[in-house]
Amino acid sequence: MAIAPARKPTTRVLFLVAPGEQPMFTRMNLPPFGTGIVTASLRDAGCDVDLHDLNSDLWRMWRAGEFTKADLRPFYDERAVLDYVGGARNDFLDSFADRLLAGKDIEAAQVVGISAGGDFSFLEMQSAVVIGAHLKRHYGKPIVLGGNNLDYLMQFHDAFHSWWTAVITHFDAAVTGPGEDVFVDLVGKLARERTQLPMARPAPSPGVARLLGDTVLRAPDAAHRILAPDFDGLRLDDYHNFVRDRPTASPRKQEADEMWNRMQLYQFPAYLSWLANETNAQQAGQGVSGRLVMPYVFNYNCPYNCAFCTESLERVKLVHATVDDIVEDMAGLAGKYQTPYFYLFNNYFNLVNGFVEEFASRVILNGVQLHWSDCARFNSLTYERLALMAESGCRKLTFGLETASTKMLKIIDKRVKLAEAERVLGWCKEVGIWADLEIITGLPHEDEDTFAETTDFLERNAANINYFNVNRYFVAPKSLMGAKPEAYGMTLRKFPDAYQRLLDANYRWLAEDLEFSYKPQNFRVYEFDEIDGRSAEQLADVIVPKIAKLNAIQSTDFSDAWRVLSMRQDRAGRTPARFNNETMSMA
Ligand code: SF4
């Protein structure tokens, strides 16, 4: 008689996404990418992952009228949350966590992973630790925290020192940087031997934050791996984008529907796309149906060093999947989740020589039906390459121009040639790819002349620019400018109470029931004075007119469409922040 081989026991992981504010403002439209990657890695390693996005639970509680935005005040109270993590009683936080976790099989889990999200959302960061503390207190489970927001909190760890101290003291591990391999390692160790918490070990584990005395230490990041995200187990209907879908209509009508869908998913700026989604959702079943948009990434670690960017400080080896693997992943995700729509979040698409031709020809030859958008750089794009990209499904490219002042471009080491940028924008228009730009205003020593070069460029190329995002400069500590501010003509100002001030600003946004786009600029933790120039206060005074000037150049097509749709939804009084040139800060 043959003896069946002994089955390797699997580790049961409860993996949770902590909720943020978005479900209280607008429908979710994208499944959580980072969580999907870590889930794929854990399942590949043989773990049994029970995956839940608590945003879905918050959304249901919100729609059922179980709480108001103002009720959430305790989540925006530094001391209340950190005391609760430390063991203090707080009936509101405890019962709110209990309601979010209703119906989850907590007892079966050997380890709990919690993603603190990646949207610079304070509700995500605060609710992650509240849920972790609740699970430790009532169920005694080992807790591993992760998510892109931890990277943000670690960059500004001096401002969030109390948060880090509580997390490192009371949880089993907090992961910064890529989590796909670190989680597998931690889950295995925590399920086997719970003798010593990883964060208490003397030797650093890659990617796991530590305390040395009173100092918060970031361990060296683990390396990224390219994986297709795994969203199985999530309530996928909750991320539906509602688009036109009339399979029995004439080919001409179906073609027109597809053009509308591309506009909604790719051409519209986020504020309009969200509103169109809300409007369409009310007509679900009447020629409208829900489709997922898949997030996917196939390259990490940019070779450029734009001085404001978090990619600029350390030289990390490029990670890039092969064309075969990328096309296989995208075709696999499209089939599994029944959607041709993708949002790619690469550093930029055309990063490797020859990649554009190989990718596009493989997609076209294999007959894979895709629609996708991504970031791109102007250099190396030709008319022929853009035409191939359009044929392979590229609908929109977002270019980081940042500024059109040659002097400022040189200072930030952007390596963009303006003549080349103008040519590429024209070609995008010709081949049918919408071209968006990222613009930064408020860089140190940006004066009237350098700012005017940017506005001139935008006006001159308006016909070829679909939309541009206006970003107010903020100092990222993990950038060249953040690491050496004096070299860029800045002296940093740090606020001792930045954490609570940011929490207060975020709570005001909720309690005053402002529109979603009024979300405070949570990454502006530091202000700066210009060396031999203007003070932070003087810079704050000039930023609003600059933003107003930029917004005035923007095409009015989208704002007109927003007004029509919002009147239909009876929401005309609540306008997006950009209509009022607002920049919410913690001040
Ligand atoms: S801004 Fe873009 S191109 Fe520049 S370093 Fe960052 S990711 Fe790379």
Q: What is the pLDDT of residues 79-130, one digit of tens each?
A: 999 999 999 999 999 999 999 999 999 999 999 999 999 988 999 999 999 9
pLDDT digits (tens, 9 = 90+) for 282-313: 999 999 999 999 999 999 999 999 999 999 99
In this prediction, residue 586 carries a pLDDT of: 41
Ligand 1 near 178 CB (within 6 A): no
Ligand 1 near 306 CB (within 6 A): yes
Question: Atom 2, ligand 1: which residue's CA is nearest?
Answer: 347
Whether 346 and 211 map to the same domain: the answer is no
Strand partners, 296: 344
Residue that terminates a domain, selected from 217, 245, 273: 217
Q: Which atom of ligand 1 is nearest to the CA of 375?
A: 2
Question: Atom 7, ligand 1: which residue's CA is nearest?
Answer: 347
Whether 172 and 314 map to the same domain: the answer is no
Ligand 1 near 402 CB (within 6 A): no
Kindly tell me the burial class for residue 230, based on how many C-beta atoms sit within 10 Å of its own C-beta (0-12, 13-18, 19 or more): buried
Whether 195 and 296 map to the same domain: the answer is no
Task: Quickly state the pLDDT bin for 403 (edges 50, 70, 90).
Answer: very high
In this prediction, residue 514 carries a pLDDT of: 86
Does the residue 233 lie in any domain? no
Ligand 1 near 313 CB (within 6 A): no
Closest-CA residue to 128 (of 159, 170, 69): 170
Kindly tell me if the per-residue pLDDT of 587 is higher than 60.
Answer: no
Mean pLDDT, residues 223-244 taken together: 97
Kindly tell me if the per-residue pLDDT of 398 is higher than 80.
Answer: yes
In this prediction, residue 345 carries a pLDDT of: 98
Whether 312 and 398 map to the same domain: the answer is yes
In this prediction, residue 304 carries a pLDDT of: 96
Cα of 305 from ligand 1 centre, angstroms = 6
Q: What percent of the chain has pLDDT over 70?
A: 94
Does the residue 196 lie in any domain? yes
In this prediction, residue 517 carries a pLDDT of: 83
Task: Quickly state the pLDDT bin for 199 (edges 50, 70, 90).
Answer: low
Does the residue 323 lie in any domain? yes
Cα of 411 from ligand 1 centre, angstroms = 14
Ligand 1 near 476 CB (within 6 A): no
Q: Which atom of ligand 1 is nearest to the CA of 304?
A: 5
Mean pLDDT, residues 339-355 taken together: 96
Residue that terminates a domain, selected from 182, 217, 252: 217
Cα of 347 from ligand 1 centre, angstroms = 7
Whether 320 and 413 map to the same domain: the answer is yes
Does the residue 238 lie in any domain? no
Q: How many domains does the chain have?
A: 2
In this prediction, residue 584 carries a pLDDT of: 44
Whether 297 and 205 map to the same domain: the answer is no
CATH number at 477 reads 3.80.30.20
**What domain range includes position 509?**
292-580
Kindly tell me if the per-residue pLDDT of 559 is higher than 60.
Answer: yes
Distance CA 249, CA 394 (A): 26
Residue that terminates a domain, selected from 217, 249, 283: 217
Does the residue 47 lie in any domain? yes
Whether 49 and 143 map to the same domain: the answer is yes
Question: Could you tell me where the beta strands, DSSP code E, fall in 451-559?
Answer: 467-472, 490-493, 527-530
Mean pLDDT, residues 320-337 taken together: 98
In this prediction, residue 120 carries a pLDDT of: 87
Does the residue 383 lie in any domain? yes
Whether 355 and 501 map to the same domain: the answer is yes
Task: Quickly state the pLDDT bin for 4 (edges 50, 70, 90).
Answer: low
Kindly tell me if the per-residue pLDDT of 470 is higher than 50.
Answer: yes
DSSP code, position 529: E
Ligand 1 near 490 CB (within 6 A): no
Ligand 1 near 441 CB (within 6 A): no
Mean of the per-residue pLDDT values of the chain? 93
Q: Which atom of ligand 1 is nearest to the CA of 312?
A: 5
Mean pLDDT, residues 26-34 taken together: 96
Kindly tell me if the per-residue pLDDT of 8 is higher than 70.
Answer: no
Mean pLDDT, residues 184-200 taken together: 74
Distance CA 230, CA 295 (A): 11
Does the residue 565 lie in any domain? yes
Sheet holding 173-174, edge to edge: 48-53, 12-17, 111-115, 143-146, 173-174
Distance CA 296, CA 293 (A): 10
**Between 5 and 50, the higher pLDDT residue:** 50
Ligand 1 near 388 CB (within 6 A): no
Other Cβ atoms closer than 10 A to 381: 22
Measured CA distances, 382 to 386, 396, 501 (Å): 6, 16, 48
Q: Which atom of ligand 1 is nearest to the CA of 305?
A: 5
**Between 194 and 155, the higher pLDDT residue:** 155
Ligand 1 near 412 CB (within 6 A): no
Strand partners, 468: 437
Ligand 1 near 446 CB (within 6 A): no
Cα of 180 from ligand 1 centre, angstroms = 23
pLDDT digits (tens, 9 = 90+) for 480-503: 999 999 999 999 998 889 999 999
Q: Which atom of ligand 1 is nearest to the CA of 310?
A: 6
Is residue 117 within 8 Å of residue 124, measured between CB atoms? yes
Cα of 301 from ligand 1 centre, angstroms = 9
Q: Which atom of ligand 1 is nearest to the CA of 308?
A: 1
Measured CA distances, 49 to 114, 288, 406 (Å): 12, 33, 51
Whether 177 and 318 map to the same domain: the answer is no
Mean pLDDT, residues 518-526 taken together: 90
Does the residue 253 lie in any domain? no
User: Of the spans 198-212, 508-522, 527-541, 568-582, which averages the highest pLDDT?
Assistant: 527-541
Ligand 1 near 350 CB (within 6 A): no
Instruction: Return the best residue to mutate from 297, 299, 302 for the ligand 1 pocket (most ligand atoms within 8 A of CB).
Output: 302
Ligand 1 near 479 CB (within 6 A): no
In this prediction, residue 585 carries a pLDDT of: 44
Whether 426 and 563 map to the same domain: the answer is yes
Whether 95 and 193 map to the same domain: the answer is yes
Whether 198 and 329 map to the same domain: the answer is no
